Structure 1
């Protein structure tokens, strides 16, 4: 997916029209349109402002996956599963993993 299409999809996912997003970022609607149509490229300030507004990272905004060093096939399987979870599932998993780590540090408990 192109950067313009990805930015448009994120905007729609967060419930903004081009005009509303432009107002929030103190830009013109034409700037948003140009970026989404890839008539111009988004600058760093646009990406930072948009990511902040959506409360996501710039990597998430542009669809870049974080790089994690995976040492075993089990780690890869875990990461692949986490990628498929929604926010609620990730929160539950974090709680479970935290408990497993605590038990590993205190095996007598």
Structure 2
């Protein structure tokens, strides 16, 4: 996925219009549009500002995935799935994980 598509996807996921994002980053809507269409390269200030606004890391912003080692495979797979969820799904998933962990703990103690 090209960076512009990724930035557009994240903007929409977080409920911003191009104009709202531009205003938040002190840019013109045209610059945001050009970045999302990959006709203008996003500079470091834009990337940093967008990451801060969305409360995500720069790695997440650009869609960079960490190398998965055998030891971290399950954890990374879970993180990769969670990255795509909205807040409601994240909350539900957290409750389910807590319940599974609690039930597993009950069985381990028997």
SS in 2 for 1:42: coil
Instruction: Work out which of the two has the higher radius of gyration on C-alpha atoms and give 1 or 2.
Output: 1
For residue 80 of structure 1, the aligned residue among 63, 77, 82 is 77
Aligned counterpart, 1:55: 55
- How far has the Cα of 1:19 moved from its partner? 0.7
TM-score (norm 1): 0.71
Structure 1 unmatched ranges of 5 or more: 101-109
Larger RCO: 1 or 2 (CA < 8 Å, sep 6+): 2
1:87-106 aligned at under 5 Å gives the runs: 87-88=90-91, 89=93, 93=97, 96=101
C-alpha RMSD of the superposition: 2.8
Asked if structure 2 preserves the Cα contact closer than 8 Å seen for 1:82 and 1:90, the reply is: no
Q: Would you say how many aligned residue pairs link Structure 1 and Structure 2?
A: 97
d(CA) in 1 for partners of 2:94, 2:69:
20
d(CA) in 2 for partners of 1:90, 1:64:
24
- How far has the Cα of 1:62 moved from its partner? 1.1
Structure 1's 45 and 91: CA in aligned 2 closer, same or farther, altered over 3 A? Answer: farther
Structure 1's 60 and 91: CA in aligned 2 closer, same or farther, altered over 3 A? Answer: farther
